[in-house]
């Protein structure tokens, strides 16, 4: 049996990493003897022609997509194209959105044959075996589907108790080279589950309130492998790496005992870090932690069941500063009880923390399916303005409270974006006068390089301009680099020096190669590493 797994388009501004969930599904399928291919539409330009070529070449019996709320519509667009091209292919979708929007999704979208609910590694294998043998689907736990126009739910599937039993993610099936060329981080997890009850988050319901941990040795074995892939940053993507002191310290000690030189980041809560934990994390290679602070208003923090105080926030940020770990934080605007005054309080709190070395950003509340805040929006005084899932990206207002309207929330975020744009423009002007700091110049250069690489990938610029006949003396890499740079300059609005520097960077890091075969020069991305 052949299974095609698809990662739908996701904006590069969201800093996507290689899809770990799909890699876990793929490894489970491979272990069961099922042939798998992954199509990652985050780093490949999508077209129906491209999809048709993949389907005709691979001929899958089943196509599976994973989607969060903001990527659901993109995923459904791909599903509809698949069904137009080959109605016999079984279409399956998983992920948090459909797990908590099951009935609505199956009623509205006839192109979807089935949904996988919750953790998918065991479910997808059992489903494929049932499909391959012609068995009834009702024996597969953890799915939902239509049967005689009725929506059927099978028995829930228990969470995977021993995470060490899972095979390593099949990263060899992912286009890691493209993510590395974009400067994106690569992620892994050391646990699943979240014991906390934040009303705006669906994590606890998706992966369970009881946290399950991988053994430290198992984690660090994977860290060693991931480190060998030469990404600039590794992200430990647990909901809360620091939630269990014993586990956190054991992983850090295992890294130190093996004398590994790593650079990694993690998520944390301000009430789960200490001087000891941060010191051990720093010794193990942690460079930054990200805190969800959400609000600077004490009453809002209580309402959303965050369970932290402003004093704990200040203490945690200061401990990070003293330990040499960079603290980052996120705030959410538009939470229950939000007013212009509470927004001002949150903005002022962010500026206060900035003086302690904190960098931070803002999002607007997106009431995702499955969250307590959505299910009890009236109780919390939240007015949900749209169920257009494509707008659930947390960068534009889709809720209002009695104390703050949509226009006010949007104005704040637009102002923030404008301020950031002006800051970048100012740095660029000072770079021209050689008056910018090295850190500022690096920041702008990295951002411009990411944008250019993404354009090169999503517009197929290298594929369309990276080969030409050559019948004379062998050309040096420098010569072919100049030819390619000149060709790209006619295609894209980018500084010639930026194009050249970007190509050199990708070449030196092994993300782009130049080969001469016969009488042809060919440049191409190194997709698989």
* Whole-number pLDDT of residue 419: 82
The pLDDT tens digits of the residues spanning 256-298 come to 999 999 999 999 999 999 999 999 999 999 999 999 999 999 9
Q: What gap in Å lies between CA 241 and CA 191, rounded to an integer? A: 8
- Strand order across the beta sheet in which 512-517 lies: 467-469, 520-525, 512-517
Global pTM value:
0.95
**466: nearest Cα among 181, 474, 457:** 457
Under the banding of pLDDT at 50, 70 and 90, the label for residue 434 is: confident
- Please count the residues of the chain: 529
CB neighbour list of residue 246: distance below 8 Å, 6 or more residues apart: none
* Whole-number pLDDT of residue 222: 98
Buried b (16+ CB within 10 A) or exposed e, 360-378: bebebbbbbbbbbbbeebe
pLDDT at 311 over 90: yes
Under the banding of pLDDT at 50, 70 and 90, the label for residue 89 is: very high
* Whole-number pLDDT of residue 476: 82
Q: Are 440 and 425 in contact (CB under 8 A)?
A: no
Residue 2 DSSP SS3: strand
Q: What is the mean pLDDT of residues 137-163?
A: 95
The chain-wide mean pLDDT, for the chain, equals: 94
**Residue range 185-359, CATH number:** 3.20.20.70
Q: What gap in Å lies between CA 101 and CA 66, rounded to an integer? A: 14
Pairing state between β 359-364 and 520-525: unpaired
- Per CATH, is 2-153 categorized as 3.10.580.10? no
Q: What is the mean pLDDT of residues 411-418?
A: 86
Q: Which residue has the tokens 């008056």?
A: 435
3-state SS, 33-100, equals CCEEEEEECCCCCCCHHHHHHHHHHHCCCEEEEECCHHHHHHHHHHHHHHHHHCCCCEEEEECHHHHH
Residue boundaries of the structural domains of the chain: 2-153, 185-359, 440-525
* Whole-number pLDDT of residue 102: 97
Q: What is the mean pLDDT of residues 138-162?
A: 95
| Dihedral sign (CA 108, 14, 526, 475) | positive
Please give the residue that has the higher pLDDT: either 453 or 471.
453
Q: What are phi and psi of 494, to 5 degrees?
A: -150, 150
Under the banding of pLDDT at 50, 70 and 90, the label for residue 493 is: confident
Q: What are phi and psi of 418, to 5 degrees?
A: -65, -40
**Do the domains at 2-153 and 440-525 have one common CATH topology?**
no
Q: What gap in Å lies between CA 148 and CA 134, rounded to an integer? A: 17
The CATH class of the 440-525 domain is mainly alpha
- 252, two tokens: 């850090």
Q: Are 28 and 61 in contact (CB under 8 A)?
A: no
């Amino acid at each position: 049996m052949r299974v095609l797994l698809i990662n739908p388009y996701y904006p590069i501004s969201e800093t996507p990493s290689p899809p770990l969930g799909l890699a876990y599904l793929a490894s489970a399928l491979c272990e069961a003897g099922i042939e798998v291919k992954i199509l990652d539409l985050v780093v490949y330009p999508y077209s129906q022609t491209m999809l048709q070529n993949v389907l005709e070449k691979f001929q899958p019996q089943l196509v599976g997509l994973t989607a969060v709320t903001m990527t659901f519509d993109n995923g459904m667009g791909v599903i509809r194209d698949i069904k137009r091209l080959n109605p016999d292919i079984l279409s399956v979708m998983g992920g948090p959105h459909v797990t908590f929007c099951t009935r609505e999704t199956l009623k509205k979208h006839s192109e979807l044959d089935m949904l996988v609910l919750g953790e998918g590694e065991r479910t997808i294998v059992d489903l494929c075996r049932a499909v391959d043998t012609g068995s009834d689907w009702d024996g597969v736990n953890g799915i939902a589907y239509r049967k005689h126009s009725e929506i059927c739910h099978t028995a829930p599937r228990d969470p995977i108790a021993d995470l060490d039993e899972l095979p390593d993610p099949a990263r060899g099936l992912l286009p890691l080279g493209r993510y590395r060329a974009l400067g994106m981080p690569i992620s892994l997890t050391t646990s699943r589950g979240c014991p906390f009850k934040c009303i705006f988050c669906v994590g606890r319901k998706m992966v369970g309130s009881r946290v399950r941990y991988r053994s430290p040795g198992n984690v660090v074995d994977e860290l060693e492998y991931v480190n060998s892939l030469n990404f600039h940053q590794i992200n430990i993507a647990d909901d809360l790496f620091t939630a269990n002191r014993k586990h956190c310290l054991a992983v850090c000690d295992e890294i130190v005992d093996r004398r590994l030189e790593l650079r990694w980041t993690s998520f944390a809560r301000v009430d789960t870090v200490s001087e000891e934990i941060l010191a051990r994390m720093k010794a193990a290679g942690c460079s930054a932690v990200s805190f969800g602070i959400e609000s600077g208003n004490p009453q809002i923090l209580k309402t959303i069941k965050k369970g932290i105080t402003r004093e704990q926030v200040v203490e945690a940020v200061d401990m990070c500063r003293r330990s040499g770990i960079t603290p980052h934080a996120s705030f959410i605007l538009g939470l229950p009880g939000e007013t212009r005054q509470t927004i001002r309080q949150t903005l002022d709190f962010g500026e206060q923390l900035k003086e302690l070395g904190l960098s931070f950003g803002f999002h607007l509340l997106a009431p995702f399916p499955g969250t307590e805040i959505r299910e009890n929006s009236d109780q919390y005084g939240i007015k949900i303005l749209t169920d257009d899932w494509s707008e659930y990206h947390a960068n534009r207002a889709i809720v209002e409270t009695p104390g703050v309207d949509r226009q006010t929330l949007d104005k704040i975020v637009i102002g923030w974006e404008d301020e950031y744009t002006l800051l970048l423009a100012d740095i660029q002007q000072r770079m021209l006068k050689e008056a910018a700091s090295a850190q500022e110049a690096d920041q702008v250069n990295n951002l411009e390089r990411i944008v250019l690489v993404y354009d090169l990938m999503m517009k197929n610029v290298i594929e369309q301009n990276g080969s030409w006949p050559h019948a004379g003396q062998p050309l040096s890499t420098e010569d072919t680099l100049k030819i390619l740079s000149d060709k790209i300059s006619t295609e894209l609005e980018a500084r010639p020096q930026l194009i050249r520097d970007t190509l050199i960077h990708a070449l030196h890091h092994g993300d782009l190669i130049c080969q001469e075969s016969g009488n042809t020069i060919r440049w191409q991305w190194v997709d698989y590493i």
